[in-house]
Amino acid sequence: MKTHRFVLKTLSFLFILSCVQVLGYVFSIPPSHADEPEVLTLSAACETALKNNPLIRVTLSGRQIADAELREARAGWFPLLQFNETFTRGNNPVFVFGSLLEQARFTQANFSLSSLNNPEPLSNFRTALILRQALFDRLQTYTRVAQARLGQRQAEMQKVMVEQQIRFEVVRTYSGVLVAHAKKGVTDEAVKTAESDMKRIQDRFKNGLVVESDLLAAEVQLAEFRQQQIDSEGDVAMAYAALNTVLGLPVERSQKVAGELEERRFETSAQEEMIRLALLQRPDYLRAGYNVLSNKEGVVGAKREYLPRLDVFGNYGMSGNDLSSGSSDYTVSASLTFNIFDPGRHARIEKARAAESMATAEQEHLASEIRLEVVRAYQQHISARGRLAVAGQAIDQAAETHRIVQNRYREGLTTITEVLRSETALLRARLNLIAARSDHYVSYAHLLLSAGKLTDIQPFL
């Protein structure tokens, strides 16, 4: 009995000791931060977008298609080797006569008239290897290869153009998040100020120093600021959703951006210089130029159809009445073809010339559009820079005006209406400054994009 009690006490002690160790391990684990979003910088956002955005995958697929088309075009320079297995059965006199010769089973008896005119049905298994090689295909393979190489360059320019567009969208949406956070901070501060003012007016109303209309006006002002605060919270959520979309992430992905919209001056060249650079390095304009060259190659290729074509053929085969036996043979031949009269050849040349003319016109139209886009982006950036300077001055004036009006109201020299109006003006000035800074950033990014110079985001870091 004592032994049983000792065993039970020992087991209980071990169980309690194990529980203590487990609890100690649990409480020693540091708190998990898995639910906390990582801080996202602008450079990290750009890197993520250039990896995950679906448009990047589209351009990569386009480049793979262009590479495959080049390999396909080059295949015209190599021979074509085919395997062919044919089974034929019949009593056609010519077929039977020839098949017997192919099978090396022709005998003296097959010369009889009855055998020649009314032969017995015959089965023929024909196994063959066929080799075809174009020695001169009127330079059509050369034309297709040249066009495929230009297609590769077009696909590369498409990739560069999409990358620049994605960088612009990252800058725009990232700035949008910073703007939304800044506006929320301004509205939060405005609500706190309005609450403090209302409490002070309530105290003065209780002491009979102000009329009830002053209190009601302060309450209305507070309600308006709270509405703007609610709207700013929604703007933050929408800004993050827009950013996640550009990054190629789910819209509900939790994010936290770093930094703020600081005042900075971006260096720009003259408008004429920006236009000149755009026509030299815009990826879409270069792509249009490659399209013109490709259509020129098409015209040359259509004209080359007037040239002759030279092909060689090789055939090695075996014929038998079954698959296990037979007689082998081979043939080698060459073919020279010259189309003396081809009604569709002239039409193909005219079609190629029309395609070249259309590609040239499209490039000229794109050049005009690029010039207009650069002018528009340049003027928008200049305007955004001017608005930023004005907004900075306005906020200083609004803050000073609000301070003076508040002092006058405490001394009883003005009405609550003037105080509320100055608070609203100060809030509007702060929001305008935030919007002006965002426009300054985005307009500069748009200017770089219009000139084909948005190859990195270094100016915004």
Band of residue 22 on the pLDDT scale cut at 50, 70, 90: very low
Measured distance CA(435)–CA(115) in Å, rounded: 101
Instruction: Summarize pLDDT for 129-183 with one digit per residue, the tens.
Output: 999 999 999 999 999 999 999 999 999 999 999 999 999 999 999 999 999 999 9
pLDDT at residue 35, as a whole number = 53
DSSP code of residue 253? -
Instruction: Summarize pLDDT for 97-109 with one digit per residue, the tens.
Output: 988 888 888 888 8
Band of residue 424 on the pLDDT scale cut at 50, 70, 90: confident
Average pLDDT over residues 8-32: 47
In this predicted structure, the answer to whether residue 114 has a pLDDT above a threshold of 60 is: yes
Average pLDDT over residues 44-61: 94
pLDDT at residue 36, as a whole number = 63
In this predicted structure, the answer to whether residue 18 has a pLDDT above a threshold of 90 is: no
Average pLDDT over residues 290-294: 97
**Residue ranges per structural domain of the chain:** 41-460
In this predicted structure, the answer to whether residue 10 has a pLDDT above a threshold of 60 is: no
The residue that leads in pLDDT, 35 or 341, is 341
∠ CA 29-30-34 to the nearest 5 degrees? 115
User: What's the CATH code, domain 41-460?
Assistant: 1.20.1600.10
In this predicted structure, the answer to whether residue 38 has a pLDDT above a threshold of 90 is: no
Instruction: Specify which residues 80 forms β-bridges with.
Output: 132
Q: Which two tokens stand for residue 138?
A: 């009127």
Kind and range of the H or E element at 372?
Answer: helix 343-410
Instruction: Summarize pLDDT for 216-269 with one digit per residue, the tens.
Output: 888 888 899 899 999 999 999 999 999 999 999 999 888 889 888 888 889 889
Average pLDDT over residues 176-193: 91
In this predicted structure, the answer to whether residue 9 has a pLDDT above a threshold of 60 is: no
The residue that leads in pLDDT, 371 or 210, is 371
Q: For residues 430, 432, 435 and 440, what is the CA-based torsion angle, rounded to 10 degrees?
A: -110
What percent of the chain is predicted at pLDDT more than 90?
62
Band of residue 210 on the pLDDT scale cut at 50, 70, 90: confident
What percent of the chain is predicted at pLDDT more than 70?
92
- What mean pLDDT, rounded, does the chain reach? 88
User: Closest Cα to residue 312, out of 136, 144, 141?
Assistant: 136
pLDDT at residue 12, as a whole number = 53
The residue that leads in pLDDT, 276 or 424, is 276
In this predicted structure, the answer to whether residue 33 has a pLDDT above a threshold of 70 is: no
pLDDT at residue 221, as a whole number = 87
Average pLDDT over residues 294-299: 96
In this predicted structure, the answer to whether residue 286 has a pLDDT above a threshold of 90 is: yes
Q: Which residues contact 33 (CB under 8 A, 6 or more apart)?
A: none
In this predicted structure, the answer to whether residue 21 has a pLDDT above a threshold of 80 is: no
Q: Which residues contact 400 (CB under 8 A, 6 or more apart)?
A: none
The answer to whether 279 touches 370, Cβ cutoff 8 Å, is yes
Average pLDDT over residues 400-405: 86
Average pLDDT over residues 306-324: 92
pLDDT at residue 167, as a whole number = 97
In our burial notation (b when 16+ CB lie closer than 10 A, e otherwise), range 327-346 reads: eeeeeeeeeeeeeeeeeeee
In this predicted structure, the answer to whether residue 455 has a pLDDT above a threshold of 90 is: yes
Average pLDDT over residues 34-63: 88
